[in-house]
Amino acid sequence: MIDFSLDAHQQGIIEKHRDFSDRFIVPVRAKYDESCEFPWEVVRAAYDEGIINGPVPSEYGGPGHNILEGALASEELGAGCIGIGICIDANSLALTPLIVGGSEEQKKRVFGELIERKGVAAYALTEPNAGSDVANIKTTGLKKGDKYIINGHKRFITNGEVAAYHTVFALADPERGARSLTAFIVPTDAPGVEVISRMRKMGQNASVQNEIKYTDVEIPLENCIGGEGRGFILAMKTFDRTRTGVAALALGAGRTAYETSMAWAKNRIQFGKPITANQAIAFMLADMATELEAARLLTWRAAWAYDNGDRALNKLSAMSKMYASDVAMKVAIDAVQVMGGDGYSRDFPVEKIMRDVKLCQIYEGTNQVQRLVISKAILK
| Residues assigned a catalytic role | 364
Paired residues of 326 in beta bridges: none
Which of 5, 325, 159 minimizes the C-alpha distance to 317? 325
Which of 44, 123, 46, 127 minimizes the C-alpha distance to 91? 123
User: Contact, 251 vs 259, CB < 8 A?
Assistant: no
User: Contact, 303 vs 68, CB < 8 A?
Assistant: yes
Q: CA of 102: how far to CAs of 106, 122, 177, 212, 303, in Å? A: 6, 16, 22, 24, 22
If one counts every other C-beta atom within 10 angstroms of the C-beta of residue 44, the result is 14
Beta strands in 159-192 (DSSP E): 165-171, 181-187
Query: At CB < 8 A and 24+ separation, what contacts does 128-132 make?
Result: 128/153, 128/155, 131/156, 132/365, 132/366, 132/369
Which stretches of the chain are DSSP H helices?
A: 8-20, 29-35, 40-48, 67-80, 82-101, 104-117, 231-267, 279-307, 313-339, 341-344, 350-357, 367-379
Distance CA 258, CA 254 (A): 6
Helix (H, G, I), strand (E, B) or coil at 131: coil
DSSP letter (8 states) at residue 331: H
For the chain, the straight-line distance linking the first and the last C-alpha, in angstroms and rounded, comes to 30
What type of residue sits at position 27?
A: P
Which of 156, 188, 183, 160 minimizes the C-alpha distance to 171? 183
